[in-house]
Amino acid sequence: MRLFFTLVFAIGVFFPAADLCAQSDWKKDWERTLQEAKKEGKIVVGIPARAELRKELDLVFKPKFGVDMELLPARGPQNASRIAAEFKAGVKYFDVFMGGSGTYESMAEDGMADPMPANWILPEVKEEKYWWAGHVWEDNLKTKRFLYSFIADAGTGGFWHNTSLVKPEEIRSLDDFLNPKWKGKLGLLDPRTPGSGQSIWSFMWDLKGEGFLRKLVQQDLFVSRDQRQLADALAKGKLAIALGVSFYTLEGFIVASLPIKELPKLKEGAPSSNGSGVIGIVKGPPHPNAARLFVNWLLSKEGQELYVKVMHQSTRRIDVDTKWLQAEGVQAAKDVLTVEEYNRVRNHLEDKYTKVRLPSAQFAEQILK
């Protein structure tokens, strides 16, 4: 009996002490990282091409932590190409990069990225209980994890129409894009590079086959890598339908009451998306402590609330409200899907990227001139 009470007492004393010790350790690590980041004085981040994101990050991060930010907004493939070229030349300018599925896999494969978990400090980032579906990795075929996927939308956005030219009931299925009425009036974000255009193209490739895509191209499909060009053509009525253009590119046109609206959900549905929600750290970054500081803050509740507000993309953080996005036409996977349903309909993350998106992009290379 004396042994029993001794064990109970030991457990009651030891484990709270261990918890306090662990708490003290991460707080010390966080404070040390913050002080070293201030000494480094700066962080360089490649971000999605969204001016509002640049503005909001500048307004919050530097005042909060005392670290300057150089934010380079561009489509993911542009930043990825620059980072890779500089890395191979022995130059490291970027610390952190963000983009969409398929953008940075080659950097991870070629040893240009640091393992992400080693840079996590905050318990609210490290612990899976804060994340819907647990920790989800873009590079999910690897044993080491370099690219974290923090966004999960229930569907890929990017099906837009000019309301002066198209009645919603005219486009209820992918097959309706083949109507001769739309010849010369269809636009698509280039599917030969990672992005929403590639996501939609690969979805059609997987569901409808290459014969369907050949017919789509024969509609004098207008293909561009410039989202702004597609948005402008849609607003002016040069295009009736534009596929793969992001909400944040079109937001200014919509606010200006131009005749642009997202198409109602098509019969075939749409794949789920991780938007521009893939993040990684360049291997041996110029400002390593600032990089750790930024990644931990961005993946915290505060950072994810800002990202959702600006980008209108759905964080997987369970403690961040995303239901309000439904009024903007965006549904968070965590609000409307089970994890099993999400994995069934996604065409992002490395496994699906390899089996679906890459082959479809290779087909696009063959038939798009």
Do 229 and 247 sit in the same domain of this protein? yes
Query: Which string of DSSP letters, residue by residue, matches 165-187?
Result: T--GGG-SSGGGGG-GGGTT-EE
β-pairing, 148-149 vs 278-282, is: antiparallel
Q: Is position 363 within any domain?
A: yes
Chain centroid to Cα 1, Å, comes to: 58
Residue 63: its pLDDT value, please? Answer: 96
Q: Is position 153 within any domain?
A: no
Which domain range does residue 23 map to?
2-136+275-323
Query: Which string of DSSP letters, residue by residue, matches 195-239?
Result: SHHHHHHHHHHHHH-HHHHHHHHTTT-EEES-HHHHHHHHHTTS-
Do 41 and 77 sit in the same domain of this protein? yes
Identify which of 107, 101, 88 has the alpha carbon closest to the alpha carbon of residue 48.
Answer: 101
pLDDT band at 219 (very low <50, low <70, confident <90, very high): very high
The arrangement of strands across the sheet holding 222-224 comes to 222-224, 186-189, 241-243, 159-162, 260-262
Do 8 and 104 sit in the same domain of this protein? yes
pLDDT score of 363 more than 70: yes
Do 24 and 164 sit in the same domain of this protein? no
d(CA 122, CA 120) in angstroms, rounded, equals 6
Task: Report the mean per-residue pLDDT for the chain.
Answer: 92
Residue identified by tokens 């005219």 is 170
Q: Is position 142 within any domain?
A: no
Measure the N-to-C terminal CA separation of the chain; round to a whole number of Å: 83
pLDDT score of 190 more than 70: yes
Two structure tokens written together for 168: 């919603």
Q: Is position 332 within any domain?
A: no
Do 57 and 75 sit in the same domain of this protein? yes
Tally the domains of the chain: 2
Q: Is 70 helix (H, G, I), strand (E, B) or coil?
A: strand
What's the mean pLDDT in 34-51? 96
Two structure tokens written together for 136: 């989800």
**In terms of residues, how long is the chain?**
369
Q: Is position 308 within any domain?
A: yes
Torsion of CA 352, 357, 363, 367, to 10 degrees: 160
Q: Is position 259 within any domain?
A: yes
**Contact indicator for 279, 307 with CB cutoff of 8 Å:** no
Two structure tokens written together for 355: 């089996």
What's the mean pLDDT in 128-152? 94
Q: Is position 84 within any domain?
A: yes
Cα distances from 52 to residues 61, 151, 369, in angstroms, run 14, 18, 34
pLDDT score of 333 more than 90: yes
What is the percent of the chain where pLDDT is above 70? 94
Do 214 and 362 sit in the same domain of this protein? yes
Residues 6 or more apart from 339 whose CB is under 8 A from it?
132, 133
Do 13 and 130 sit in the same domain of this protein? yes
Residue 22: its pLDDT value, please? Answer: 65
How many helices (H) and strands (E) the chain has is answered by: 15, 11
**Contact indicator for 229, 210 with CB cutoff of 8 Å:** no
Do 231 and 362 sit in the same domain of this protein? yes
Q: Is 47 helix (H, G, I), strand (E, B) or coil?
A: strand
Identify which of 144, 137, 141, 82 has the alpha carbon closest to the alpha carbon of residue 111.
Answer: 144
Q: Spell out where the chain has E strands.
A: 42-47, 68-73, 96-99, 113-114, 148-149, 159-162, 186-189, 222-224, 241-243, 260-262, 278-282
Do 288 and 245 sit in the same domain of this protein? no
Residue 8: its pLDDT value, please? Answer: 46
pLDDT score of 2 more than 70: no
Do 126 and 102 sit in the same domain of this protein? yes
Q: Is position 38 within any domain?
A: yes
Do 190 and 259 sit in the same domain of this protein? yes
pLDDT band at 21 (very low <50, low <70, confident <90, very high): low
Residue 232 belongs to a domain with what CATH number? 3.40.190.10
d(CA 196, CA 4) in angstroms, rounded, equals 62
Do 103 and 214 sit in the same domain of this protein? no
Q: What is the pLDDT of residues 11-20, one digit of tens each?
A: 555 556 556 6
